[in-house]
């Protein structure tokens, strides 16, 4: 069995988790799964007959309802802004769950055994109509969230570590050297 690469992080729960790096394109994948809404734009008819869309710039105060186009754009903009805030929160939850599911491995067992039914009974008893999932990945995520990662600060450290552990001084130096080498190759080719 090969040794997994990552950064060990001891947690207040008594567990130690190994946090593996996540390739950055996976974060783009999450954003593609939960796209933000496009803000409304103003449609302008040109003298030649064509219609173009121009970015709507939100005024400092709400326009009068008498000005139906500006009022409608304002209301639509505010509704889009509110919905996008909800979508951003959904993205954050999805990103966190994705990173916990794919980048966290329990390295050292803590006081609770994952295979035990004790934690399942306690978690299900805490919330009416909640059942711990039987799917292995979803079950592990429930275990991580309810028994392993108990503090928001620890969750945030794990998330940032999985996203940014490849960015270190040596990585930056290597990237710059590689960039310089590629530039030299392009000018001499």
Task: Judge residue 26's burial from the number of C-beta atoms within 10 Å of its C-beta, 0-12 exposed, 13-18 middle, 19 or more buried.
Answer: middle
Tens of pLDDT, residues 135-183: 999 999 999 999 999 999 999 999 988 887 555 555 556 556 655 555 5
The reported pLDDT for the residue numbered 165 is 56
Alpha-carbon span 25 to 97, nearest angstrom: 16
Q: Given a cut of 80, is residue 39 above it in pLDDT?
A: yes
Q: Given a cut of 70, is residue 131 above it in pLDDT?
A: yes
The reported pLDDT for the residue numbered 121 is 94
Q: Ranked by mean pLDDT, which of 1-5, 15-19, 62-66, 180-184 comes out on top?
A: 15-19
Whether the model clears a pTM of 0.85, i.e. scores above it, the answer is no
The tokens describing 81, both together, are 């802004």
The SS3 of residue 8 is strand
Phi first, then psi, for residue 129 (nearest 5°) are 70, 10
Contact 91, 27 (CB under 8 A): no
Burial code (b: 16+ CB inside 10 Å, e: under 16) for 93-121 equals eebbbbbbeebbebeeebebebeeeebbe
Q: What is the mean pLDDT of residues 122-132?
A: 94
The reported pLDDT for the residue numbered 27 is 80
Strand locations in the chain, DSSP E? 7-10, 16-19, 41-45, 51-55, 104-108
The reported pLDDT for the residue numbered 6 is 85
Count other C-beta atoms under 10 Å from residue 159's C-beta.
21
Q: Given a cut of 60, is residue 40 above it in pLDDT?
A: yes
Tens of pLDDT, residues 74-121: 999 999 999 999 999 999 999 999 999 999 999 878 888 888 899 999
Phi first, then psi, for residue 115 (nearest 5°) are -75, -10
The reported pLDDT for the residue numbered 87 is 96
More confident residue, 114 or 131: 131
Q: Given a cut of 70, is residue 188 above it in pLDDT?
A: no
């Amino acid at each position: 069995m090969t040794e997994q690469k990552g950064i060990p992080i001891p947690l207040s729960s008594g567990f130690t988790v190994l946090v593996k790096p996540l390739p950055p394109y996976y974060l783009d994948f999450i954003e593609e799964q939960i796209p933000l809404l496009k803000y409304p734009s103003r449609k302008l008819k040109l003298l030649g007959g064509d219609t173009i869309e121009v970015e709507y710039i939100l005024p400092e105060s709400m326009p009068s309802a008498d000005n139906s186009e500006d009022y409608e754009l304002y209301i639509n903009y505010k509704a889009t802004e509110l919905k996008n805030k909800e979508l951003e929160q959904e993205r954050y939850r999805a990103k966190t769950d994705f990173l916990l599911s794919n980048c966290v491995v329990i390295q050292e067992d803590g006081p609770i055994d994952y295979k035990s039914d004790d934690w399942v009974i306690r978690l299900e008893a805490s919330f009416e109509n909640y059942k711990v999932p039987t799917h292995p990945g979803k079950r592990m995520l429930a275990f991580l969230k309810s028994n392993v990662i108990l503090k928001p600060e620890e969750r945030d450290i794990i998330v940032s570590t999985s996203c940014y552990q490849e960015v270190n001084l040596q990585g930056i130096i290597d990237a710059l050297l590689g960039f310089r080498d590629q530039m030299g190759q392009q000018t001499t080719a």
